[in-house]
Structure 1
Amino acid sequence: MRQSGTVGFWRWRRNPLKRRSDVVEAWVVLVVAVLLVIGLPLAGVLAGLRVDNELQRQREERQRTTAVLAEDASAWQAGRYVRFQATVRWTGSDGKEHTAKADVGPDSRAGSTTRIWTDGKGELTGAPATETEAASASALAGLLTMGGTGAVVLGARWVVQLGIDRHRAVAWEQEWARVGPQWGKRLT
């Protein structure tokens, strides 16, 4: 008589025909299930928090600065888009004067001012991510991490399963070589 409720856990029941490879396979299935159910969400959340913390740090560190154009804006072709750049000068938070190429408006002339973003060292940088951009980037990082981690876990399980199946095939072949010839004899 079969007990209900044990069908899904057949690998864990006592059975005289259970092989060592069945026990190994049962443990592999259990570990993979735990990793998929607990590990994937945890990895996704941790990756999202890491990205969010980095973007928050950038928002806190970067600041708007006024810079003076050292030259007139010149057109710069970037694929289908035209950008206007000019050399600009500004004084960083460290008190040193900095010079770099920055994107400016098309009618910008030498001597006029423009607003740029600088980092904690006073170097030219891009604008920090907005709250919405940071939330989107964090969510995307979490999802990609979950997908990548899931692929690694399932790929590792597949490789282990191949090894288990090869081991079983060798064991079957050895057992058949031992028992098979006896089947051809008639019992009288």
Structure 2
Amino acid sequence: MGDRAGRPANRWPLALRVWGNPVARGADRAEALLIIGLTLIWLLSVPVIATVASAEWTSVDARVAADQSADVAVVAVLQADAPPLTAGDAHAPSLTSPTAPAIWLGRDGQSAHGMVTVPAGARAGQRVTIWLDPAGAVVDRPMTTQVAAGLVVLAALGGWVGLGVVFAGVWWTARVVLNRHRAQLWEQGWTNLEAGLSPQ
């Protein structure tokens, strides 16, 4: 019965065992309080981060909507072939997309021309979709609402994980300091014990 009665206590997390352990020291209880406190703060930060992300999404969504309404898509016709991929590019593609000369109708209805980003291997005469800003300049495709929402979610998750990493660093630093304090107490205890056992 004694063993069975003792086993459930061992199932408690280490940070909570110190409260029923008669040999636990103040440093052990301090570490337990730190672990419990940091864990609670980290968990309670979830609704705070969610609220901040929700507020940020309002402005992000407004900017995305503004970009989508300001930029227009037009069809451009390539006037030359895009640079072909080399054998080396196939294994380590460049971070820069190829470009080729093209012509298109501008926002004012007049013919315009310039260099546009095209798929690798595109041929002359091929039609590609490009985006023009209010001034008629070629710009990148506007960000979609789905991509913007995904970035906001990733930023929120990254912030929460980053906070957890900071808290883990705080705990580790405190543990190093407390371990040194425990070692000093341990050495002092042995010194006192040896002094008590030495003949008078």
Shorter chain as normaliser: what TM range? 0.5 to 0.7
Is residue 32 from structure 1 mapped to residue 38 from structure 2 by the alignment?
Answer: yes
Distance 1:32 1:68, change over 3 A: same
Counterpart for residue 101 of structure 2: 86
Distance 1:35 1:20, change over 3 A: same
Counterpart for residue 184 of structure 2: 170
Give me the whole-angstrom Cα distance separating, in 1, the residues matched to 2:52 and 2:150: 15
Counterpart for residue 128 of structure 1: 142
Among candidates 58, 61, 82, match of residue 67 of structure 2: 61
Among candidates 124, 143, 152, match of residue 107 of structure 1: 124
Is residue 160 from structure 1 mapped to residue 168 from structure 2 by the alignment?
Answer: no
Q: Does the 8 A contact of 1:52 with 1:134 survive in 2?
A: no
- C-alpha displacement at 1:37, in angstroms? 0.9
Counterpart for residue 165 of structure 2: 151
Is residue 138 from structure 1 mapped to residue 152 from structure 2 by the alignment?
Answer: yes
Counterpart for residue 8 of structure 2: none
Counterpart for residue 4 of structure 2: none
Give me the whole-angstrom Cα distance separating, in 1, the residues matched to 2:177 and 2:133: 52
Structure 2: tracts of 5 or more residues without a match: 1-11
Give me the whole-angstrom Cα distance separating, in 2, the residues matched to 1:185 and 1:99: 102
**Code of the aligned partner of 1:64:** V
Distance 1:85 1:50, change over 3 A: farther
Distance 1:25 1:118, change over 3 A: farther
Q: Does the 8 A contact of 1:36 with 1:150 survive in 2?
A: yes
Secondary structure of 1:74's counterpart equals coil
Q: Does the 8 A contact of 1:59 with 1:129 survive in 2?
A: no
Name the one with the larger helix percent.
2
Distance 1:129 1:171, change over 3 A: same
Give me the whole-angstrom Cα distance separating, in 1, the residues matched to 2:29 and 2:143: 51
Query: Structure 1 residues 165-174 or 54-63, which shifts more?
Result: 54-63
- C-alpha displacement at 1:158, in angstroms? 1.9
Name the one with the larger strand percent.
1
Is residue 182 from structure 1 mapped to residue 196 from structure 2 by the alignment?
Answer: yes
Give me the whole-angstrom Cα distance separating, in 2, the residues matched to 1:170 and 1:32: 26
Q: TM-score, normalised by structure 2?
A: 0.58
Q: Does the 8 A contact of 2:73 with 2:130 survive in 1?
A: yes
Distance 1:123 1:11, change over 3 A: farther
Give me the whole-angstrom Cα distance separating, in 2, the residues matched to 1:176 and 1:119: 78
Q: TM-score, normalised by structure 1?
A: 0.61
* Count of equivalent residues: 173
Give me the whole-angstrom Cα distance separating, in 2, the residues matched to 1:176 and 1:40: 46
- C-alpha displacement at 1:173, in angstroms? 1.2
Q: Does the 8 A contact of 1:55 with 1:128 survive in 2?
A: no
Structure 1: tracts of 5 or more residues without a match: 1-6
Is residue 43 from structure 1 mapped to residue 64 from structure 2 by the alignment?
Answer: no
CA-atom RMSD in angstroms: 4.5
